[in-house]
Amino acid sequence: MDTNNRLEEVNVKPTTSIEYIKNYSITSLGGFPIIKEETHSEVNEYMQEETIYDIDDFSIINGTNKDNIFNTINKSTTALINSENLEYYVPEQMSEDNKEDDVNISTLLITDKHGFICNEEEIPKGSELTKSLSAEIVLRRERKWLEMIDHWNDYMAGKFDIIKRRCRKGIPDSLRGRAWKHLCGAYFHMHIGKNKNVFDIVSQQPADPKYVEEIKKDLDRQFPEHELFSRQTPYGIREDGYCQAQAPIAAVLLMYMPLKEAFYCFVQICHKYLPGYFTHDMEQIKIDGEVMKHIMKAKCPKIYFHMKKNLVEPSMYLIQWFMCIFCRTLPWPSVLRIWDMFFCEGIKVLFKVALVIISETFGNKKTFEECPDQGSILIKLKELSKELLSEDILVKKVLDINLDEYDLERAHYRIVKNWKLRSDIYT
């Protein structure tokens, strides 16, 4: 990850939240890197051929990356979708008797509305504090989203505030996959851009066996309590495979869209929203950990100094929160609401959620006394309040947080500049 790109782009003032995603979280090579440079006339030709586009992709399409796309989409990504490697993913062949038993077991399973398996007596995780919307409200929201998706250009160009407001209210579950695909720019790359054939090409490439082995080890760890991935049902999709650090993200996407769409959304998340997070040195998440410290010092100084005194670094809790986009931390209804806002507004949402969790968890003197050292602080961050984590309460508090793009840009600029100075001193 080249920090110079991030450093240069900080000075670009965003005009919309989507542009902020590009300026703050995206390198000039972000999203799908292109095979060759294109002119604005070629972009306009795309827009004339297709009426729907997603994000403003001009900087991506006119980027400076002249490398072949497959240098970036490496063999670990190929392993996600390569049909030639199915023997690595498919479990041992079951006998006919075992198959019948498996089907019988699956018919007895009870799942919540999101597909998570639960006992009859068990309340689905987080749902006890979540208010169910009436069918009338759900239907009305679905109609609004369908109309918005049908006129996506118009809304992106002049009605983005409506998109943002509706994402904050929560995308209807039946349309969540379609909405995410448009919000993150995957639709553009699937149907309009030069990379629309990438999935088919990559799926025919052989995968590196070492990545396949890593994927194999990680398969059963991804939401085994969900019917899509559970071994208790015959319907689990275990053949597609995952990358270890990115597995939870891939799993969530596969719950809401077909494999090809999930692939394009997955690449957008890794290259556009969270660039540098999944590299060997995880450089960008280290920088964002420093940004988090800066924000805490400004927004909740008592908590900041308490953690500093006890040597609690953001990397001790932030890596799982941010790299998994909170899907390993929050109840499922809250996860979906956070993802809805994340796809629309970018990484700012993750910082706001983290700030809410920290400030609400350590917001009183009693908690300070209960957590006098590093170990107790980290345990407290894992045993979060159920009430705080419910979607309605959490989202309201996230929206109440006063944290804008400028705060993040300023903190990020300062930190990257200091890192660069230190690097120059020691090189």
* Three-class HEC string of the chain: CCHHHHHHHCCCCCCCHHHHHHHHHCCCCCCCCCCCCCCHHHHHHHHHHCCCCCCCCHHHHCCCCCCCHHHCCCHHHHHHHCHHHHHHHCCCCCCHHHHHHHHHHHHHCEECCCCEEECCCCCCCCHHHCCCCCHHHHHHHHHHHHHHHHCHHHHHHHCHHHHHHHHHHCCCHHHHHHHHHHHHCHHHHHHCCCCCCHHHHHCCCCCCHHHHHHHHHHHHHCCCCECCCCCCCCCCCCCCCCCCCCHHHHHHHHHHCCHHHHHHHHHHHHHHHCCCCCCCCCHHHHHHHHHHHHHHHHHCHHHHHHHHHCCCCCHHHHHHHHHCCCCCCCCHHHHHHHHHHHHHHCCHHHHHHHHHHHHHHCCCHHHHHHCCCHHHHHHHHHCCCHHHHCHHHHHHHHHHCCCCHHHHHHHHHHHHHHHHHHHHHCC
The mean pLDDT value for 90-97 works out to: 40
The mean pLDDT value for 303-331 works out to: 93
Residue 335's pLDDT is what? 95
Least confident of 143-147, 167-171, 335-339, 388-392: 388-392
Q: 300-316: string of b/e by CB count within 10 Å (b at 16+)?
A: beebbebbeeeebebee
pLDDT, tens digit (0-9, with 9 covering 90-100), for 272-290: 999 888 887 788 888 999 9
Phi-psi region of 415 (alpha: psi -120 to 50; beta: other; left: phi over 0): alpha
User: Where is pLDDT greater, at 101 or 145?
Assistant: 145
Percent of the chain with pLDDT over 90: 39
The mean pLDDT value for 72-77 works out to: 43
pLDDT exceeds 70 at position 352? yes
Global pTM reads 0.68
Rounded distance, CA 296 to CA 301, Å?
Answer: 6
Rounded distance, CA 42 to CA 48, Å?
Answer: 10
Residue 344's pLDDT is what? 96
CB 193 within 8 A of CB 61: yes
Residue 173's pLDDT is what? 94
Q: 205-221: string of b/e by CB count within 10 Å (b at 16+)?
A: bebeeebbebbeebbee
Residue 215's pLDDT is what? 62
| Structure-token pair, residue 197 | 């054939």
Rounded distance, CA 223 to CA 327, Å?
Answer: 10
Pinpoint the residues of the chain covered by CATH 1.10.472.80: 283-425
Residue 86's pLDDT is what? 32
Residue 244's pLDDT is what? 56
The mean pLDDT value for 149-159 works out to: 94
Cα–Cα distances (Å) from 368 to 139, 299, 364, in that order, read 46, 17, 7
Residue 117's pLDDT is what? 55
Residue 111 has φ and ψ, to the nearest 5°, of: -120, 155
The mean pLDDT value for 326-330 works out to: 91
Residue 140's pLDDT is what? 94
pLDDT exceeds 90 at position 65? no
pLDDT exceeds 80 at position 21? no
Q: Say how many C-beta atoms besides its own lie within 10 A of residue 286's C-beta.
A: 19
| Structure-token pair, residue 126 | 């987080």
The mean pLDDT value for 58-81 works out to: 37
Q: Read off the pLDDT band of 53 (50, 70, 90).
A: very low
Specify whether domain 283-425 bears CATH 1.10.472.80.
yes
pLDDT, tens digit (0-9, with 9 covering 90-100), for 383-419: 888 888 889 999 999 999 998 888 888 888 888 888 7
pLDDT exceeds 80 at position 181? yes
Nearest to 62 by CA among 79, 82, 77, 42: 42
pLDDT exceeds 90 at position 257? yes
Per the listing, tokens 């509706």 go with 166
Least confident of 178-187, 232-241, 256-265: 232-241
Mean pLDDT of the chain: 72
Percent of the chain with pLDDT over 70: 59
Q: At CA 159, angle to CA 8 and CA 53, rounded to 5?
A: 65
Residue type, position 17, single letter? S
Residue 120's pLDDT is what? 47
Residue 98's pLDDT is what? 45
User: Where is pLDDT greater, at 51 or 148?
Assistant: 148
Residue 129's pLDDT is what? 47
User: Where is pLDDT greater, at 389 or 212?
Assistant: 389
Rounded distance, CA 334 to CA 392, Å?
Answer: 8
Residue 220's pLDDT is what? 58
pLDDT exceeds 80 at position 201? yes
